[in-house]
């Protein structure tokens, strides 16, 4: 498949897109036809080592050369404009899709990146972090998944370390369903920007979804500074998802850039 065909396949629901996070965005049609798609998991049968063998459209998981996540180390200093978010607060729609806790976002929140505009679709969480920074893993990672109108995804990644309680996460945790396939709503308004770090320094690289079909359609922006969550908040998520992080992938011939503005 070509990149745009893979993206359409992803949006139609073959897999969430964490994209990989977009990894975790599903349409209603995808939910209705889930039985038709190969089962994948993070451990055991159907785990990451088997993803590329589960279906032809998942081949990139094993053969791709621009896969995610990666270790963010020795970034090339570059002068780049900061990602400009224009997000809005909205009532919560929280989904337990069996792979993560995902917050679906109403229309109207956008990201401007390298002269392109992307719409925020959803954000979701991983335990432990999928990316590492100079070999250091964090307790969790949140991915903000955006889509360009003409195809392509941009994902903002933020590391989460143990520390002070996180009020925004607490709001989500109070709403999140415990069972896979369930959705819960709350009129409590939450602004996604509450989970961005103060330091805007970021790593940039071209990558993929971190779940099947592992499509290489993602512009990754990962913040160097982590945010915090309390050990208790982390434990509540880990109880539902002990491990929902894809193993590290090779950088290969890609350039890893470090914003120095």
Give the confidence band of 260 by pLDDT, cuts at 50, 70, 90: confident
Residue 101: band (very low, low, confident or very high) from pLDDT cuts 50, 70, 90: very high
Q: What are phi and psi of 233, to 5 degrees?
A: -65, -40
Q: How many domains does the chain have?
A: 1
Which of 113 and 29 is assigned the larger pLDDT? 113
Instruction: Assess if residue 28 is contained within a domain.
Output: no
Q: Which residues have a Cβ under 8 Å from the Cβ of 5 and sit 6 or more positions away? A: none
As a whole-number percent, the residues of the chain with pLDDT over 90 amount to 83
| 192 in Cβ contact with 93 (< 8 Å) | no
Of 19-23, 36-40, 101-105, 118-122, the range with the lowest mean pLDDT is 19-23
CATH code assigned at 145: 3.10.200.10
Segment 106-129 mean pLDDT: 97
Is 55 inside a domain boundary? no
Q: Is residue 190 in a domain?
A: yes
Mean pLDDT for all residues in the chain: 89
On the question of pLDDT at 159 being above 50, the answer is yes
Catalytic residue, candidates 37, 39, 99, 146: 99
Question: Could you tell me the pTM of the whole model?
Answer: 0.89
Range of the domain at 201: 63-205+215-259
Q: How far apart are CA 211 and CA 143, in angstroms?
A: 13
d(CA 122, CA 102): 7
Q: Has residue 254 been placed in a domain?
A: yes
Q: What are phi and psi of 79, to 5 degrees?
A: -90, 110
Least confident of 18-32, 72-86, 98-112, 225-239: 18-32
Task: For residue range 166-206, list pLDDT tens digits in order.
Answer: 999 999 999 999 999 999 999 999 999 999 999 999 999 99
**Any domain includes 104:** yes
Annotate the chain with three-state secondary structure.
CCHHHHHHHHHHHHCCECCCCEECCCCHHHHHCHHHCCCCCCCCCCCHHHHHHHCHHHCHHHHCCCCCCCEECCCEEECCCCCEEECCCEEEEEEECCCCEEEECCCCCEEEECCEEEEEEEEEEECCCCCEECCECCCEEEEEEEEECCCCEEEEEEEEEECCCCHHHHHHHHHCCCCCCEEEEEEEEECHHHHCCCCCCEEEEEECCCCCCCCCCEEEEEECCCEEECHHHHHHHHHHCCCCCCCCCCCCCCCCEEECC
30 belongs to a structural domain: no
Q: Is residue 156 part of a domain?
A: yes
Q: What is the pLDDT of residue 36?
A: 60
Question: Per residue in 21-38, pLDDT tens?
Answer: 444 444 434 444 444 678
* Distance between CA atoms of residues 178 and 168, nearest Å: 18
Banded pLDDT at 228 (limits 50, 70, 90): very high
In a domain, 41, yes or no: no
Residues 6 or more apart in contact with residue 87 via CB below 8 angstroms: 105, 109, 110, 120, 191, 192, 193
9 is catalytic: no
């Amino acid at each position: 498949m070509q990149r745009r065909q893979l993206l359409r396949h992803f949006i139609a629901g073959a897999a969430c897109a964490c994209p990989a996070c977009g990894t975790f965005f599903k349409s209603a049609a995808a939910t209705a036809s889930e039985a038709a798609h190969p089962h994948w998991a993070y451990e055991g049968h159907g785990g990451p080592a088997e993803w590329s063998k589960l279906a032809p459209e998942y081949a990139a998981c094993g053969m791709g050369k621009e896969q995610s996540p990666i270790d963010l180390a020795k970034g090339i200093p570059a002068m780049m404009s900061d990602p400009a978010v224009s997000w809005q607060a909205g009532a919560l729609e929280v989904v337990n899709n069996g792979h993560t806790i995902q917050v679906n976002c109403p229309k109207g929140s956008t990201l401007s990146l390298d002269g392109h505009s992307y719409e925020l679709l959803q954000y979701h969480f991983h335990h432990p972090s999928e990316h590492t920074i100079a070999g250091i893993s964090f307790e969790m990672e949140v991915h903000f998944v955006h889509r360009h109108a003409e195809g392509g995804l941009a994902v903002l990644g933020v590391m989460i370390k143990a520390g002070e309680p996180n009020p925004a996460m607490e709001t989500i945790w109070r709403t999140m369903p415990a069972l896979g396939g369930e959705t819960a709503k709350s009129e409590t308004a939450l602004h996604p920007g509450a989970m961005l770090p103060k330091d805007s320094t970021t790593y940039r690289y071209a990558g993929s979804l971190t779940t099947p079909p592992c499509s290489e359609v993602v512009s990754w922006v990962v913040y160097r500074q982590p945010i915090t969550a309390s050990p208790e908040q982390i434990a509540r998520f880990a109880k539902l998802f002990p491990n929902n992080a894809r193993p590290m992938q090779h950088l290969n011939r890609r350039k890893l850039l470090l914003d120095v503005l």
